[in-house]
């Protein structure tokens, strides 16, 4: 029997028709904090319908934590800014993923690269939802994705 450890969460089927570009937490944070990141994002053509942008609710939760705890945003301002970028760039929140025993695949690969524990369920969610490409800054995250045959696009630092 598969053990169920965590649920990632929401929405539609339109993404099944397009190549999915998953956005990690750092991308969301940078789009809120740095106008240069927004310029870069637009210049690279990260927009629907050219690309189907998506993220996990866990990435949104991490983004909230970073903005509140590191940048002293209020909860209200944080929610407003996250909603703004999700709407502006038509970023879809992905559906629920129940984490089962096969998460061990990600855990084993991630150990080789010293992947942060909190990134394991994020990669798992993208992997199970068949996200083809992930935009990410972290090298361990990137290398783990590559071993899972998920393309990773390097996101630069804007801070």
Taking CA atoms, 122 is separated from 48, 52, 84, 97, 127, in Å, by: 22, 18, 22, 10, 9
Give me the numbers of helices (H) and strands (E) for the chain, helices first please. Answer: 7, 7
**pLDDT 10s per residue in the chain (159 long)?**
343 333 333 344 555 567 889 999 999 999 999 999 999 999 988 876 678 899 999 999 999 999 999 999 999 999 999 999 999 999 999 977 888 999 999 999 999 999 999 999 999 999 999 998 999 999 999 999 999 999 999 999 998
Q: In this structure, what DSSP letter does residue 13 have?
A: S
Question: What does the alpha-carbon distance between residue 117 and residue 124 come to, in Å, rounded to a whole number?
Answer: 12
Match 């189907």 to its residue by tokens: 52
Of the candidate CATH numbers 3.30.300.30, 3.40.50.1010, 2.60.120.200, 1.10.390.10, the domain formed by 7-154 belongs to 3.40.50.1010
Predicted TM-score of the model (pTM): 0.86
Q: How many residues does the chain have?
A: 159
Question: What does the alpha-carbon distance between residue 23 and residue 42 come to, in Å, rounded to a whole number?
Answer: 14
Q: For residue 29, how many other CB atoms are within 10 A of its CB?
A: 26
pLDDT tens figures, 33-62: 999 999 999 998 887 667 889 999 999 999
Half-sphere exposure of 37 toward its Cβ, with a 13 Å CA cutoff? 19
């Amino acid at each position: 029997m598969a053990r169920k450890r965590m649920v990632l969460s929401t929405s539609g089927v339109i993404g099944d028709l397009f190549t999915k570009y998953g956005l990690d937490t750092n991308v969301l944070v940078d789009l809120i904090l740095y106008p240069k990141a927004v310029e870069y994002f637009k210049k690279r053509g990260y927009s629907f319908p050219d690309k189907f942008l998506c993220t996990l609710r866990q990435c949104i939760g991490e983004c909230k934590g970073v903005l509140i705890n590191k940048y002293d945003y209020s909860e209200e301002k944080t929610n407003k800014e996250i909603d703004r970028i999700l709407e502006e760039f038509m970023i879809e929140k992905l559906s629920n993923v129940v984490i089962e025993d096969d998460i061990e695949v990600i855990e084993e690969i991630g150990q080789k690269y010293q992947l942060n524990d909190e990134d394991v369920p994020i990669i798992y969610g993208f992997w199970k939802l068949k996200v083809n490409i992930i935009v990410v800054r972290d090298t361990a995250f990137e290398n783990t994705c590559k071993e899972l045959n998920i393309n990773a696009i390097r996101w630069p630092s804007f801070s």
